[in-house]
Chain A
Amino acid sequence: MSNKELLPDCLWPLVERFKLVFKPLGRGSLTADMAELPAQLPAGPDGKFTVEDKESIDSTLSGPLRRWIEAQGPEIQRSTPPVFASFTKGIDIAGTSYKPRSIAWGDSYVLIGTASDWRPAQIHSIFTVTLSSNLGKSRRTVISVYGFQPLSPPDIDHDNYRRFTHAGGRIYYDKELPLEVIGTKEIVSHFAYTPNVCAKISASHFHALPLNRVSIRHQLAPLPVLIG
């Protein structure tokens, strides 16, 4: 199955997902974890989608969105930056609901990255855009987030939570970084936000405690080769 010559290209995304999820010594694989997020809706026979993007993307979002498009694979890189989008009030990922901070403050604090290498952020908005390129059209749901500034090296020494790798969490400065756009696959989980937990850190800060409602795709490293 891992042999590229034996499989058509269109099946390779499925093989990659399967290799990520399937683990002979693991238990609890969820079918939902294999689903690609966001769903790429197929275009109709006339090349149009049933869902129309009606809301315009303002200047604060257009720059981060363009940078996200440029960082994607060659298929998306050739897309024209979209001008309109469909904004949504929330998204469900692996059974957990994530919402922008204008809708639900507590549901907007998220960890992004991977389970072992995460950083806290707050969701600004969730929207779906149609990307057009010479290869065709595809719809992608993306999330704009504000990251938070990591502690400086002297202040890291005061962060006692880092000593407990699996259950302790970390402290970050309560200072927002510029807006960035990420894909839905980069969301790891929610976190508990507690402000100003260390008297030795003078700047405003908060403690981020991961709340482990994690799915398998964030825990398991991709397997090298399953079947030769």
Chain B
Amino acid sequence: MQQDNPDFFLPAPPPAAETNPTPAMTAVLGKHTLPEVWSDKVRTILPSWISPIPVGAGSARTGKLTADQWRTLCTVHLVVTLVRLWGGCDPGDRRRDLLVNFMHLVTATSLLFRRSVDTETIRLYEESMKAYLEGHLHLYPHLNLSPKHHLSLHVPEFLRGFGPVHGWVTWGFERLVLKFQNTDTNGKIGINTPHPQHVHLSLQTRAARKDDG
């Protein structure tokens, strides 16, 4: 399969020494799959309330995506393209397993963001998330589960206690983080270097004060 599809660099079951593979060895979406995603993205018509993802999303030159753009990319554009590309693979083909695993995650995300939840929705979320994590351990044996994976299994408790995530999700903090990330800094803690634009405005203000007399 790796010869047929250059997008895949997933190794055979890693030897004991290979516990920290390079990022290239874990790439699933590569230079052949991402252009397909972008091509489908251009053809897809979305309602106006969906946050559009930038052209070339997922590539280094496009930069970071916001949390909402990640959600759109994963629950809309990747679903359209990956099912198109890998949905017809034979049983036993790794791409098919990867797709099924990814769709467990998409299902869990879609259920999580419903405007209302009941016990059945929570049960389906738990089922999908556990299936995704079990698949993750099986498909990516060289990768460890992260704390976020662990936390995702605690979400049902919050759903039962507080209701839909719209009531307590922290989009406001996400926006603040984005604002901080887009702020230019000199990378040195404790030394304040003003932004050139701020210096320019400050000089303009001083000049205006002088003119006023």
A106 B115 Cβ-Cβ under 8 A: no
Residue ranges of B at the interface with A (Cβ–Cβ < 8 Å): 40, 43-50, 75-76, 79-80, 83-84, 87-88, 103, 106-107, 110-111, 113-119, 121, 124, 128, 159-160, 162-164, 166-167
A213 B115 Cβ-Cβ under 8 A: yes
Return 7 A-B CB contacts under 8 Å, by A number. A27-B116, A28-B115, A28-B167, A94-B115, A107-B47, A160-B84, A192-B80
- Cβ of A211 under 8 Å from chain B: yes
Minimum distance in angstroms from A209 CB to a CB of chain B: 6
Please indicate the chain A residues that have their CB under 8 angstroms from the CB of B87 in the complex: 160-161, 163
* Seed contacts A167-B110, A207-B80, A216-B116; 5 additional CB < 8 Å A-B pairs: A28-B114, A28-B167, A192-B50, A211-B46, A211-B50
Please indicate the chain A residues that have their CB under 8 angstroms from the CB of B117 in the complex: 26-28
Question: What interface size band does chain A fall in?
Answer: 35 or more
Please indicate the chain A residues that have their CB under 8 angstroms from the CB of B111 in the complex: 166
Given contacts A193-B45, A207-B80, contact A164 B103 (CB under 8 A): yes
Given contacts A28-B116, A215-B115, A216-B116, contact A190 B79 (CB under 8 A): no
Minimum distance in angstroms from B151 CB to a CB of chain A: 20
Alpha-carbon distance A1/B163, docked complex (angstroms): 26
Alpha-carbon distance A109/B106, docked complex (angstroms): 22
Contact of A109 among B40, B47, B103, B128 (CB under 8 A): B47
- Cβ of A133 under 8 Å from chain B: no
Given contacts A27-B118, A207-B80, A209-B79, contact A192 B44 (CB under 8 A): yes
- Cβ of A23 under 8 Å from chain B: yes
Please indicate the chain A residues that have their CB under 8 angstroms from the CB of B46 in the complex: 106, 190, 192, 211
Q: Which residue of B lies closest to A165 (CB)?
A: B107
The stretch from A77-85, A145-153, A177-185, A194-202 touching chain B is A194-202
Residue ranges of A at the interface with B (Cβ–Cβ < 8 Å): 23, 25-30, 94, 96-97, 104-107, 109, 158, 160-161, 163-164, 166-169, 190, 192-195, 197-198, 200, 207, 209, 211-216, 219-220
Q: Which residue of B lies closest to A108 (CB)?
A: B47
B163 A209 Cβ-Cβ under 8 A: no
Minimum distance in angstroms from A115 CB to a CB of chain B: 10
Alpha-carbon distance A13/B43, docked complex (angstroms): 44
A194 B40 Cβ-Cβ under 8 A: yes
Given contacts A27-B163, A168-B103, A207-B80, contact A216 B47 (CB under 8 A): no
Alpha-carbon distance A106/B113, docked complex (angstroms): 21
A97 B45 Cβ-Cβ under 8 A: no
Minimum distance in angstroms from A52 CB to a CB of chain B: 30
Please indicate the chain B residues that have their CB under 8 angstroms from the CB of A211 in the complex: 46-47, 50, 76
Alpha-carbon distance A135/B124, docked complex (angstroms): 47
Alpha-carbon distance A106/B46, docked complex (angstroms): 5
Please indicate the chain A residues that have their CB under 8 angstroms from the CB of B113 in the complex: 212
B45 A106 Cβ-Cβ under 8 A: yes
Please indicate the chain B residues that have their CB under 8 angstroms from the CB of A192 in the complex: 44-46, 50, 76, 80
Given contacts A27-B117, A211-B76, contact A161 B83 (CB under 8 A): yes
Alpha-carbon distance A207/B124, docked complex (angstroms): 24
Please indicate the chain A residues that have their CB under 8 angstroms from the CB of B50 in the complex: 192, 211
Please indicate the chain A residues that have their CB under 8 angstroms from the CB of B110 in the complex: 166-167, 212
Q: Which of A25, A104, A158 has the most CB of B within 10 A?
A: A25
Minimum distance in angstroms from B63 CB to a CB of chain A: 24
Please indicate the chain B residues that have their CB under 8 angstroms from the CB of A207 in the complex: 80, 84
